Chains A and B, each alone.
Chain A
């Protein structure tokens, strides 16, 4: 088809990404456009510019003047694509503006997308509007596309519908902003209407289950009822859909395998409430028929049956069958799949298959593809930006060359979390199997969290200035102490903990230092800890505000300890030993010892401590959800009085207690059980006894138990142990000199509000009971002081633990007749 030459020059061939046919094929002639021919790019012009510079758009296209270009061709297509990819343009078209011999000139016609300037949300409160805007990520400068408008609208609508405002209407308009080029203002109006509640829920077609039971099966869709505050009665579509499945599940758990929801309908009432009607078809009730295992060679049928725990004739329960075969999703799940996964069979597959329906019984086959045991090849750690490899790797239980085990991975996550250097909630194992050589690589991703605490405070107390400086680092690196480069801002990463505390006022000074290396020598998990303590105080006269330096008490203390992990009875056990020493040096000071007063002399307290503990609680040390912690401990001194032949009845006080002697035995146990995914029960039991070697000397006035209150150890001279028992005043359940026996039971229900690494918060409710006794003769484990209450804990890495409890004591204090009643406790820096 011929076209005249002068007409050709006027043709503006439209080139599009898809359209090709709009360009007429022409005969080869100079200055004529020939489809799919190569041209030299002579120049680019841009039309439709508002905000952008022409040069910028040219750069965006990626085309260079002088380059060879096919028209149409992939270079042009990619130029158009690039322009769209900048997300700045709503429309891009390209024309050939001029053909001059072998040189082609292109013209881009673009439409710029408007930018968002102001957003006004009406119909809701100002603060709420601000939140909504940031939630929807409506930022100034964002490109306003159709997509943005639609998604924003839906987002707001959904947000309110999820809160029960079912009739929410959202209108969204954009108006050009005249103050700046090509910008628009967005006007959103939200009419949330009335909150819609569910008045009634009815069922049809149910026979085996009554209405009440079925209503209970709707976990998050509840009808209006007085006194329901835990779960509201609003209608949320997504929850309702989920709940319909819950009905089917509830039926299937009782053998109604074919049960289904036929239909559901919603009717509106005049008072902004609605009724739900659900039609169900129950079907028949089934029992388990024959159960067969296929494909198992590593384990016998009997062994597998013991895990399955389902017999022929049991009510058919698809959920339980699935859980016992493929797991219930918890780390402690006991099922056939986990059995294989824990013993190297990473590639194993276990499937429950219903093979035959026989009247009312269903035959089941457990089909097992064992595959070969898988060995671990590579183990890596990612995200340890501060903690050195060796500190993390030594805690990892999945090691190269060993069989793959799911339980080892779970344990590793727990133990890395327990270190306290990483966010325990975000430790994730990445399991990469290599099918060819039956190996697996495991990569752990961790996220560092700050664990150092700094305390610096000054205050005015007791007529004098008190200054405190406390530093505690839980991931210190001593070897880098003199390495300037390692200070970022402090040498960290070797897992050592170090703390330092100084406190000074006009009449007393205390200083303490402690250090722990968890893996002494790096070879075995043997820890070494060391601490020293020094305190000096002078008599202070509160009336004259004078410090008398002639009356003083010095206390020097030190302890050194070794701890090790044990392999027996199992590898959760640890054994720790330490020797502690304290020297009390008195000069005209007047220190109360029991009901007597000692003014001058030296007292020594040299003791050996032994603790045998098992700890399997995890995974998050701040909020454990499974496992237990318990310990048996003893602290004892040498029985001096039995060997030194002294007559203690006639000795002076300073001689009598020159070397303190006693023994202490304690037991503590804590169990954590998850009731639901979040709700955790902590059960705790404690017992402690302080005994003497010599009746004549009697029980030591030091090292006694003080039961009651928040359990926070305040500064005390006599080595006392403070035992928390909420609902009672601090220490008041013990006699004035302190008890020698105590016991305590505790049941605490915990619910996490947030477990972010920046701050973990949980609420708790508790029941507890305990008491303190003077002498084992008076010990009566059933004569307990009871209490109950509610509280809140906040854990922040830089501050430690903060908490408040409101507790009600049901029993009177010793000697009293009125019950203790409500008490408020503040908890700082400790956990119980």
Chain B
């Protein structure tokens, strides 16, 4: 790589450009990126820039630096809206965000970006053959966001913080209306309400038990055939019993 180093450090801009294209075509993307970085200021505003920007984005994509690839493809789309590669770049930008999106339990900034980018792509190129794939990806990413919200709510339930769990499951249900976690979320919301009600101190017990019963009604109405009903009906019985004895105590006084 003696020649590469020589060109990188001492070559003229033209030599560096030629070398960059060469190593890019040889799929030595890391080397290409280094050279592209050097020549970018000199080619700003020149016709070669279109090609350079595309290759920079591709190099990042091929070295699996998807966040950067997404950024550069997006920049390419904005700078060269008339390019013949614009549709491909728009898709690759969105797809890079999709690939950069991490597991649900980490920050989902890239997931949000990916959803927006994929939606924009579908809107702009409805005829593209990538639309089916893009739609599939959007579904997958939305599911990831739902799962995140669900797992956070479930953690509140798991750590026996039922007040927080109820609100968190409500947030999930209102943020993602058609979520595939709807049944489970309603089930856990009822369970949280049940635990909160049954273990409540006396002053708030009546209200909390009533809330729990209401949330079960809603659950049952929505999922009359749910497998969870076996378990929840028993809990409802407990609640009604508890409520009755509470009311009996009240009338006695």
Task: Report the contact-size class of chain A (Cβ under 8 Å from the partner).
Answer: 35 or more
Query: A401 and B163 in contact (CB under 8 A), knowing A52-B45, A53-B47, A393-B155?
Result: yes
On whether the beta carbons of B168 and A400 are closer than 8 Å, the reply is: yes
Interface membership of B183, Cβ < 8 A: no
On whether the beta carbons of B105 and A389 are closer than 8 Å, the reply is: yes
Query: A522 and B46 in contact (CB under 8 A), knowing A59-B82, A385-B106?
Result: no
Q: Is the interface of A mostly helix, strand, loop or mixed?
A: loop
The complex places the Cα of A523 from the Cα of B152 at a distance, in Å, of 13
B residues near A394, Cβ cutoff 8 Å: 155, 159
On whether the beta carbons of A402 and B151 are closer than 8 Å, the reply is: no
Query: A52 and B46 in contact (CB under 8 A), knowing A140-B41, A389-B106?
Result: yes
Interface membership of A624, Cβ < 8 A: no
Interface membership of A284, Cβ < 8 A: no
The complex places the Cα of A62 from the Cα of B82 at a distance, in Å, of 9
From the candidates A52, A387, A400, A523, name the one contacting B160 in the complex (CB within 8 A): A523
A residues near B233, Cβ cutoff 8 Å: none
Interface membership of B44, Cβ < 8 A: yes
Closest to A521 in B: B158
Q: Number of B interface residues, CB 8 Å?
A: 31
- A343-377 interface bits toward B, Cβ cutoff 8 Å, 1 = contact, 0 = none: 00000000000000000000000000000000011
Query: Which residues of B204-233 have CB atoms within 8 Å of chain A's CB atoms?
Result: none
- B155-193 interface bits toward A, Cβ cutoff 8 Å, 1 = contact, 0 = none: 110111101101110010000000000000000000000
Distance in Å from the Cβ of B152 to the closest Cβ of chain A? 6
On whether the beta carbons of B46 and A56 are closer than 8 Å, the reply is: yes
On whether the beta carbons of B171 and A378 are closer than 8 Å, the reply is: yes
The complex places the Cα of A399 from the Cα of B152 at a distance, in Å, of 11
On whether the beta carbons of B47 and A522 are closer than 8 Å, the reply is: no
On whether the beta carbons of A141 and B41 are closer than 8 Å, the reply is: yes
B residues near A523, Cβ cutoff 8 Å: 158-160
On whether the beta carbons of A522 and B171 are closer than 8 Å, the reply is: no
Interface membership of A239, Cβ < 8 A: no
On whether the beta carbons of B105 and A390 are closer than 8 Å, the reply is: yes
From the candidates B80, B106, B155, B159, name the one contacting A384 in the complex (CB within 8 A): B106
Interface membership of B107, Cβ < 8 A: yes
Interface membership of A524, Cβ < 8 A: yes
On whether the beta carbons of B47 and A56 are closer than 8 Å, the reply is: yes
Chain B CB within 10 Å — which of A52, A139, A387, A390 has the most? A390
Closest to B164 in A: A399
Distance in Å from the Cβ of A163 to the closest Cβ of chain B? 32
B residues near A388, Cβ cutoff 8 Å: 103, 105-106
From the candidates A383, A393, A399, A493, name the one contacting B163 in the complex (CB within 8 A): A399
Closest to A380 in B: B152
Query: A400 and B47 in contact (CB under 8 A), knowing A141-B41, A390-B151?
Result: no
Query: A382 and B107 in contact (CB under 8 A), knowing A56-B47, A400-B168?
Result: yes
Interface membership of A51, Cβ < 8 A: yes
From the candidates A52, A88, A493, name the one contacting B106 in the complex (CB within 8 A): A493
On whether the beta carbons of B106 and A401 are closer than 8 Å, the reply is: no
On whether the beta carbons of B82 and A377 are closer than 8 Å, the reply is: no
On whether the beta carbons of A401 and B107 are closer than 8 Å, the reply is: no
A residues near B251, Cβ cutoff 8 Å: none
A residues near B104, Cβ cutoff 8 Å: 389
Distance in Å from the Cβ of B14 to the closest Cβ of chain A? 13
Distance in Å from the Cβ of B169 to the closest Cβ of chain A? 9
On whether the beta carbons of A53 and B107 are closer than 8 Å, the reply is: no
On whether the beta carbons of A389 and B151 are closer than 8 Å, the reply is: yes
On whether the beta carbons of B45 and A400 are closer than 8 Å, the reply is: no
On whether the beta carbons of B41 and A522 are closer than 8 Å, the reply is: no
The complex places the Cα of A64 from the Cα of B45 at a distance, in Å, of 19
A residues near B160, Cβ cutoff 8 Å: 523
Query: Which residues of B49-92 have CB atoms within 8 Å of chain A's CB atoms?
Result: 80-82
Distance in Å from the Cβ of A259 to the closest Cβ of chain B? 52
The complex places the Cα of A389 from the Cα of B154 at a distance, in Å, of 12
Interchain Cβ contacts under 8 Å between A and B, 18 examples: A51-B45, A52-B46, A53-B46, A55-B47, A56-B45, A64-B82, A139-B41, A141-B42, A383-B107, A387-B106, A388-B105, A390-B155, A399-B161, A399-B163, A400-B164, A400-B167, A401-B164, A523-B160
- Ranked 7 nearest A-B pairs via Cβ: A400-B167, A141-B41, A401-B167, A399-B164, A388-B105, A401-B163, A389-B105
Known: A384-B107, A389-B155, A399-B163. 19 other contacts (CB 8 A): A52-B46, A86-B45, A139-B41, A140-B41, A388-B103, A389-B104, A389-B106, A390-B105, A390-B152, A390-B155, A393-B152, A394-B159, A399-B161, A400-B171, A401-B164, A401-B166, A402-B163, A522-B158, A524-B159
